[in-house]
């Protein structure tokens, strides 16, 4: 069930009304109702994959409780390994089986051999990468004795399958989300109103920005060999905004929806395209994933407490694994390596923690130096996004080579399309609002004392844009991960 569909527009109010007006007197009943609603939401795509999420939930619930009681370290490690094997085994089979088969065949062919192994027609379960990491963090935290295991089966199952963030995050830690299922929830009108504003802003980013950008992106990447360098450049820029509007829009809707039910999820995006270097960008982009890799991979490898050689190794490890997490294609691995190379000069010079505040903090206009830093960082990110979007590494290199050709100075072919200007106007609104709001939790936080006429004028403007200029409906990009 997509957030931007008629089905969800019926599903959400219905669940909200039952949750607050029928089952609100009993916490266990509320949690059971959320669990049922989450399974309906997830099963809307393919009910067969509910068995996977239920099985993973059972395994980690049992292992978590056994881990807490077990005192023999060798047995505790075996239990943790079992959880890792089950969860990563499912993820590896459904997401990477054909990738490894194809890569093995290609490598074998290089040496003159010939293989014809059978590929499987495997359908990737929606959201498997997200809920797998969510359940893994639960068992790892119990193993580290940072978390008490859940003794309530329904609460734990609800935590794993909580529908607002089940399919594309944020990836929630049990230390943050699970205790919220234990506590009685009281309706907060102010929090719900802010949640609705965040949902509205997320829908604007998805429907008006991302889906309109997608039309140009699809055309440019499908015909890159026939287009000028300037058009390819615009295609890369539009994809940068497509993936941002798409993914951060999903996160906004997920976080806003959660607040309607009395839950607070972690912030997943912090206006990343206003970053002044690549390190700051990765502290602001997909925060729940980057911090997951930091806490469960980078720090266990030694983090920054080791010598420079191992720091470099650890940095490349998290970026390569991050790339591999995103998809079964060498383009994602190259994307990860390229970001690690971007990060390397900052690491070597000890400047990877230079920018921990907001750009132009307390000011309306950034300095020329800050503008240059933001444009440089954005340009590097756009080049990396080409690998992320392309079908192959060869196509990526040809695309980038086309950008840096003489035709870069020609007028882009996209200028001839009338809807190009509508999309550009939507990007202007996005950048203007988020620049003004860059020190807030999301783009539509209204802490100013605005008269209700001005506030409702903003809401109506966004709603009218959503209904007047929707692009061709696209699935959320991160559903494939």
Catalytic residues: 326
Residue 126 DSSP class:
T
Nearest to 229 by CA among 411, 363, 456: 411
The DSSP symbol for 367 reads -
Do 430 and 241 form a contact (C-beta atoms < 8 A)? yes
Residue found under tokens 């720091």? 311
Query: What element of type H or E holds 91?
Result: helix 73-110
Give the separation between CA 394 and CA 404, rounded to whole angstroms.
Answer: 16
CA 344 vs CA 278, 302, 341, 470: distances in Å: 10, 17, 5, 40
Is residue 174 a contact partner of residue 253, using CB atoms and an 8 Å limit?
no
Cα-Cα-Cα-Cα dihedral sign, residues 140, 145, 147, 151:
positive
Structure tokens at 51: 């068995």
Evaluate the omega torsion of the peptide bond into residue 170 and state whether it is cis, within 30 degrees of 0.
yes
Give the span between the Cα atoms of 461 and 455, in whole angstroms: 10
- Closest Cα to residue 242, out of 277, 223, 218? 218
Alpha carbons 279 and 67: distance in angstroms, whole number: 36
* Cα-trace Rg, the chain: 23
């Amino acid at each position: 069930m997509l957030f931007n569909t008629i089905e969800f527009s019926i599903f959400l109010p219905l669940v909200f009304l039952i949750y607050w007006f029928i089952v609100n007197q009993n916490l266990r009943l509320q949690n059971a109702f959320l669990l049922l609603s989450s399974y309906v939401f997830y099963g809307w795509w393919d009910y067969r994959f509910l068995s996977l999420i239920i099985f993973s939930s059972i395994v980690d619930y049992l292992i978590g409780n056994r881990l807490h009681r077990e005192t023999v370290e060798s047995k505790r490690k075996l239990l943790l390994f079992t959880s890792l094997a089950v969860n990563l085994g499912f993820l590896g089979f459904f997401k990477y089986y054909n990738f490894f088969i194809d890569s093995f065949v290609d490598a074998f062919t290089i040496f003159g051999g010939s293989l014809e192994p059978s590929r499987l027609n495997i359908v990737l379960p929606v959201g498997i990468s997200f809920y797998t990491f969510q359940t893994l963090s639960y068992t790892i935290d119990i193993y580290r004795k940072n978390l008490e295991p859940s003794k309530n089966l329904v609460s734990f199952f609800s935590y794993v399958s909580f529908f607002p963030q089940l399919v594309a995050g944020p990836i929630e830690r049990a230390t943050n989300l699970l205790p919220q299922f234990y506590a009685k929830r009281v309706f907060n009108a102010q929090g719900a109103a802010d949640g609705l504003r965040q949902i509205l802003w997320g829908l604007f980013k998805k429907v008006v920005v991302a889906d309109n950008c997608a039309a140009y992106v699809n055309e440019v990447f499908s015909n890159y060999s026939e287009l000028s360098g300037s058009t390819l450049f615009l295609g890369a820029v539009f994809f940068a905004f497509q993936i941002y509007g798409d993914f951060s829009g999903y996160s906004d809707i997920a976080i806003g929806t959660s607040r309607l039910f009395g839950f607070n999820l972690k912030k997943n995006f912090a206006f990343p395209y206003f970053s002044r270097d690549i390190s700051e960008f990765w502290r602001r982009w997909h925060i729940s994933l980057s911090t997951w890799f930091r806490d469960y991979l980078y720090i266990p490898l030694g983090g920054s407490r080791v010598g420079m050689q191992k720091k470099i190794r650890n940095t490349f490890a998290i970026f390569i694994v991050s790339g591999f997490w995103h998809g079964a294609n060498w383009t994602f691995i190259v994307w990860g390596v390229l970001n690690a190379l971007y990060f390397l000069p900052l690491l070597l010079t000890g400047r990877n923690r230079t920018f921990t505040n907001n750009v132009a903090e307390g000011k309306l206009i950034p300095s020329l130096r800050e503008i240059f830093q933001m444009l440089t960082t954005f340009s590097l990110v756009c080049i990396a996004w080409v690998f992320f979007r392309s079908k192959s590494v060869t196509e990526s290199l040809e695309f980038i080579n086309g950008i840096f050709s003489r035709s870069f100075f020609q007028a882009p072919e996209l200028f001839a399309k009338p809807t190009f200007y509508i999309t550009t106007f939507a990007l202007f609104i996005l950048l203007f609002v988020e620049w003004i709001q860059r020190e807030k939790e999301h783009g539509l936080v209204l802490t100013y004392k605005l008269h209700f006429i001005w506030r409702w004028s903003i809401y109506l403007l966004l709603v009218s844009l959503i209904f007047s200029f929707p692009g061709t409906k696209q699935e959320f990009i991160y559903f494939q991960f």
